[in-house]
Amino acid sequence: MDRRLVTTGVTVLAALALASASSTATARPALRLVDTEPLAVQGIRFDPAATVRVRVLTFTRTWTRSVEVGARGTFMARFPVSAERCGAWLAVQAVASDGTKAGLRLPQFECPTRR
């Protein structure tokens, strides 16, 4: 086998591994919608063992929870509100103790029209 081909292949694999590790290290925290009734959100890519203040905002009310991030950088927060109500606007904000932030805004669901 040609030595240059082997060296090039190893170099390419090392570069891909470095790029993958680099993109994982710089990935920002995010929120995912897990359930709409009751509302449940999951935080991902937060620093492990951080405390996160999670707020859910609607037109009429705000709910707040403090949660601890697990060893894998995730957390789950549940709130006594439904995101399935028609005409409802809902936003979720998460701020970690180290200042990192993530947000999620749910669209306003359309109400069925009556005839």
Q: From first to last of its 115 residues, what are the pLDDT tens digits of the chain? A: 555 544 444 444 444 444 444 444 568 999 999 998 889 999 999 999 899 999 999 888 899 999 999 999 999 999 998 876 666 678 999 999 999 999 998 876 666 666 6
Which strand ranges, in their side-by-side order, compose the sheet holding 39-44?
Answer: 30-36, 39-44, 75-79
Residue 86 domain-assigned (yes or no): yes
Residue 35 domain-assigned (yes or no): yes
Exposure pattern of 61-73 as b/e (b: 16+ CB <10 Å)?
eebeeebebeeeb
Residue 112 domain-assigned (yes or no): no
Domain range enclosing 33: 28-106
Residue 87 domain-assigned (yes or no): yes
Q: What CATH number is attached to the domain comprising 93?
A: 2.60.40.230
Tokens of 92: 């979720």
Number of domains, the chain: 1
